[in-house]
Amino acid sequence: MSAARRARDGTQGKQPMQIVGVCRFSMLGRGDWKAYRNQPDEALETIYAEKAAELFTPERMEARFATFLNLTLASVAAQSDQDFRFLVMSSDRMPAPYQDRLRAMCAAFPQVVLRFLPPMHVSEAQKQIMAEEGIELADCLQFRLDDDDCVSREFVRRLRRVGRMNEKQAILGVSFSQQYYCVTDGPTRGVYNWYSPFFSAGATIRHPRHTVFDYGHFQIPRRMYAITDPHFPNLVTHRGDNDTPRHAAEILKKRGMYPAPADEVADVFAKHFTFITPKGLAACGLDHLIQLDGSPQRERRAASA
């Protein structure tokens, strides 16, 4: 942070507030994945081999590269406040051509710190990278973001403001609670308005000892003082045919998800997600629902499915 900015913000002489995003890209290791839950250590190598066979299939990798570049990294690059770091944790068992491709992709974004790691718990991996980068847990707000989701271009700016308003709170949880949940295919394909505090996209904590992955994201407000802000939405993607029961119409309704009206979707994209290109729309399955009109203002309008 520059001296001029610290003076302007009234933080002269104080430790600058650091903001760190964390993303797992085809990583192997314990965490909040069901495959590893309650498994003894001696079973892990077998699980690693099984998960690697799933993670590194060409079809899956192509889909992940598309969403990661056109949604996740696009939202990183578009932030109105660029003073943050974004840790990308991947697997050293990833085939070399994919590693090379991921390195080249991440190199274009100055905020990104990429590491290929042996199988380990995701929280330990995060602590290891933060130590290498000289980042103290106590001095930062740390948020998580999956490789097929993105946040509003005002996310970091607003998160910093919330942090400063609560700078005396050593342990803090923050959630931008409005989600636009995109079912990208299947019979319920579409964009759903979903109020879901502490959903994984953008879930944030400040803690002197623990990482954001030490908590199930929905458990954060049960474990610490927490704040929600519904004004800066996240965009979440999920393939419907990968989880048909979850995306049945009655289940979506039961979870509080409702189809977002076309004008609402257009307004949200114009305000928060202007960085999403036609490739981004295709990556999250919205190319049949939303169109870019090609004008210099890049206004968005919704089209009926």
Q: 32-36, 106-110, 147-151, 204-208: which range is least confident on average?
A: 32-36
- Residue whose token pair is 């002269």: 12
Burial of 284 (0-12, 13-18, 19+ CB in 10 A): buried
Between 285 and 72, where is the model more confident?
72
Selection from 139, 91, 99, 135 nearest residue 117 by Cα: 91
Over residues 38-55, the pLDDT tens digits come to 555 655 677 778 888 888
Q: Compute the residue count for the chain.
A: 305
- Residue whose token pair is 């419907």: 240
Over residues 4-49, the pLDDT tens digits come to 444 444 444 455 689 999 999 999 876 555 555 555 565 567 777 8
Between 188 and 161, where is the model more confident?
161
- Strand partners for 176: 229
pLDDT score at 2: 43
Residue 288 confidence class, pLDDT cut points 50, 70, 90: confident
pLDDT score at 239: 74
CA angle 206, 33, 68 (to 5 degrees): 75
Q: 69-78, 141-150, 216-225, 282-291: which range is least confident on average?
A: 282-291
pLDDT at position 85 over 90: yes
**pTM exceeds 0.85 for this model:** yes
- pLDDT (mean) for 80-97: 97
